[in-house]
Structure 1
Amino acid sequence: MSVKVLYAGNPAQWPVYDAELSGALADLGITAHLSRDIAATDVDYIVYAPNGPVQDFTPFTRAKAVLGLWAGVEKVVGNPTLTQPYTRMVDDGLTEGMTEWVTGHVLRHHLGMDTYIHRTQPIWNCPAPPLARDRTVGVLGLGALGATAAQALRALNFNVVGWSRTPKQIDGVESFSGEAGLQTVLGCADILVLLLPATAQTKNLLNAVRFAQMPKGAVIINPGRGPLIDDAALLAALDAGQIGHATLDVFRVEPLPDDHPYWAHPNVTVTPHIASDTRPATAARVIAENIRRGEADEPFLHLVDRAVGY
C-alpha cells in the first residue's frame, strides 16, 4: 500500500517538489502517492510551508507528522490545530547557503570593502585591515546554522565566540550560555552574527542596554529573525556611532515597508531575506528520510519542541 503525502507548500514550487520528492522517496524504496489534492482523512504526511494552503490541521486525523520546509517555526508552533508531530527543515543546502552568506558579509565588514566599493572620491594610502586572527566574531545561536557558520569563520582564522540557550561544545569556538555569558560575548564581539530563533525569550534581545555593552563601532549582521532586534534602539545606536553598521536580512514586517528608516540609513545594508533558502533537491532527501522513519516507527529528525518554541 502506498503512503499518501500531501504537498501543502508554496503552490508555485509544486512542480519541482513533485519531481524531487518523488525521486527521493523512490530512492528509499518508498511507494508513495504525492499530490496537492488528497482527502484530509487519507493523508499520512503533510509537506508543509506556512505560505501554503493549509492553516487548519484538524481534518488530518490520520497524519503521522507535518514535515516543515522552513527552518523557522514561529509562524506555526502557536497554531492550536497543529497536534501532529512537527519537524523543521535542517538540510545541507539551507546550511551551506547560510554559511556562505554569513562568511561573505563578515569578510566584507572585516576587510572594509564598502569604503572602496562605495567611494565618492579617490582613496589611497589607507591602512590595511587587521588579520582575521585579530578580529573577534560573536555568533548568537549555535544550532545547526549557527554552529556551521561559527566553524567556517574559525576556519578563516577569526577568533570566534558563541552563545546559546544551553551550553554547546564546538571545536575551536569558545561557547557561552546564560546572561553572564551573553554579556561576555557582546563585550568582545567586533562583528556580531544573529542566528537565534524567534521566541518570547529572544524578542528584542538586542536592545539599547545590550548595544551599549558592545565595542564602539561594532557591526551587527542579522540573517536570523527580525524580532531579535529592537529597531528603534538599533537606529539610535547607529546614529550615536555605538554600532558602526548593521547588515539586515530579516525584519518584523516583510517585505520591509518602503518608508522604513533602514532603507535610507547610510550605515544599514538591507538584503531581501535571501541569506538562505530551502533547496528542493536537498530538502526532498530530508523529507523522504523522515517519511521512512515514520513508516519504520523510528524517531523523526529535527522534531520541534513546542515548549521552547523551536
Structure 2
Amino acid sequence: MINVLFAAQADRWEKYEHPLHTAFADLGLKVDLRTYHAPDTVDYIVYAPNSDVQDFTPFTRCKAVLNLWAGVENVVGNPTLTQPLARMVDPGMTRGMVEWVTGHVLRHHLGMDRNIKDQNGQWHPYIPPLAQDRRVTVLGLGELGTACARAIAGLGFPVTGWSRSAKQIDGITCLHGSDGLKTALERADILVLLLPTTPATENTLNGETLKLLPTGAFIINPGRGPLIDDDAVLAALDTGHVAHATLDVFRIEPLPPEHPFWAHPRVTVTPHIASETRPVTSAQVIAENVRRGEAGEDFLYLVDRKAGY
C-alpha cells in the first residue's frame, strides 16, 4: 500500500479526492489517500504551498512532494524540503491559459474595447491591421509560455519568445539573455508575461524596460504579479506609451479595493482566473508521478532548486 498525504486547503480535498482515487486506480496503484497520515509513514505528499505542512523534516519516508500549483516560489526555498519537488504541469491548466491569452491578444489586436465600451451613437469605422502586421512577444517559454506562443503564431502573428536560456521552437523567434530581452521588448506590440517569480524576474517590467516597448503597446500579465513594477506601469499608461494593461495576477491578492489599477481607464483587472489547475487532468499527472516513483523512473517536471522553478 502506498501512503499519499493530501496537504492542501479543505475545499481542495473536496474537489480532488474522487479524481485522485480514479487516477490511481486507472494506473493500478494501491493507494491509501488521506488528509492525515503519521509523517513517518508518508510515501508522497500532494501539496499546496498554503497548506498547514511547512516543515518537511518529519516526512522521513517521503519520496517526492507533488505540487498542485504551477508556481513553486512559495515552497522551493523551504530549507526543510529535501525531497524531490515536482511542479504541476496540467494539460487542463495549459489549455485554459492558451484560451485566456489568445482571447485577450485578439481583443487588443482587433480593438474590441472600442465597440464594447464606447457605444455613444457615433460612427467611427476602425480597421485593425492583419495579424501578420502585429508583433507579439511572450516572455517565458516554459510549458505555458510555449503553448501560448504556438497558439498565437498559429493565428498568423509574428511571435518572439524570450527565456533565460536558449531554446528552439518551430515557428517562434526565440531569444535569450539580456540582449535578447531588449530585442524582444522592442518587438512587442503586444507583450505577454509568463515568467516564473524569482529574484531575477521580479520587476522585469520597470521604468527602464517599459521604455523599450513600442509606443502604444499592450501588456497582458497572466504570469505573476511581481513581474511588473506597478507604479512604472501606471506611469507608462498615463503617458500613453502603453495603451492598455490587462492584468490577472498581483502582488497582493485579492487586489485591494483602493489599488489604482481598479479605477484606471486603461487597465483591465481579472481576478486570477487566466488558468486554474483542473482536478481531473492534474490528478492524472500526480498519479503518473507516483507510478514513476514506485517503478524507480524519473519524476516528471522536477523543480530546479537553483533556478527556482
TM range (shorter): over 0.9
Q: Aligned to 2:148, what secondary structure does the other structure show?
A: helix
Question: Shift in Å at residue 120 of structure 1?
Answer: 4.7
Please give the root-mean-square deviation of Cα atoms over the aligned residues, in Å: 0.8
Q: Aligned to 2:251, what secondary structure does the other structure show?
A: coil
1: CA distance between counterparts of 2:263 and 2:71?
28
2: CA distance between counterparts of 1:7 and 1:203?
31
1: CA distance between counterparts of 2:178 and 2:78?
30
- Deviating above 2 A after TM superposition, structure 1's stretches of 4 or more consecutive aligned residues are none
Q: Give the equivalent residue in structure 1 for 2:40.
A: 41
Shifted more, 216-225 versus 5-14: the winner is: 5-14
Q: Give the equivalent residue in structure 2 for 1:63.
A: 62
Q: Aligned to 1:208, what secondary structure does the other structure show?
A: coil
Task: Determine whether 1:106 maps to 2:105.
Answer: yes
Q: Give the equivalent residue in structure 2 for 1:89.
A: 88
Question: Shift in Å at residue 186 of structure 1?
Answer: 0.6
Task: Summarize the alignment of residues 268-283 of structure 1 with structure 2, pairs less than 5 Å apart.
Answer: 268-283=267-282
Q: Give the equivalent residue in structure 2 for 1:76.
A: 75
2: CA distance between counterparts of 1:261 and 1:8?
36
Q: Give the equivalent residue in structure 1 for 2:225.
A: 226
Q: Give the equivalent residue in structure 2 for 1:156.
A: 155
Count of residues in Structure 1 that have an aligned counterpart in Structure 2: 309
Q: Give the equivalent residue in structure 2 for 1:30.
A: 29
Question: Shift in Å at residue 127 of structure 1?
Answer: 2.3
Task: Say if 1:11 and 1:52, in contact at 8 Å, map to a contact too.
Answer: no
What per-residue deviation string (whole Å, max 9, x for no partner) do you get for residues 97-146 of structure 1? 00000000000000101111011512424221011111100000001000
Q: Aligned AA for 1:161?
A: T
What per-residue deviation string (whole Å, max 9, x for no partner) do you get for residues 46-101 of structure 1? 00001222111111111000000000011111111111110000010010000000
Task: Summarize the alignment of residues 1-310 of structure 1 with structure 2, pairs less than 5 Å apart.
Answer: 2-310=1-309
2: CA distance between counterparts of 1:4 and 1:188?
51
TM-score normalised according to structure 1 size: 0.98
Shifted more, 47-56 versus 274-283: the winner is: 47-56
What per-residue deviation string (whole Å, max 9, x for no partner) do you get for residues 143-167 of structure 1? 1000000000011101111100011
Task: Say if 1:92 and 1:282, in contact at 8 Å, map to a contact too.
Answer: yes
Q: Aligned to 2:208, what secondary structure does the other structure show?
A: helix
Task: Say if 1:162 and 1:185, in contact at 8 Å, map to a contact too.
Answer: yes
Task: Say if 1:116 and 1:123, in contact at 8 Å, map to a contact too.
Answer: no
2: CA distance between counterparts of 1:5 and 1:125?
61
Identical-pair percentage: 63
Shifted more, 262-271 versus 14-23: the winner is: 14-23
What per-residue deviation string (whole Å, max 9, x for no partner) do you get for residues 251-292 of structure 1? 111111110010010000000000000000000000000000
Unaligned runs of 5+ in 1: none
1: CA distance between counterparts of 2:28 and 2:262?
50
Q: Aligned AA for 1:271?
A: T
Q: Aligned AA for 1:163?
A: W
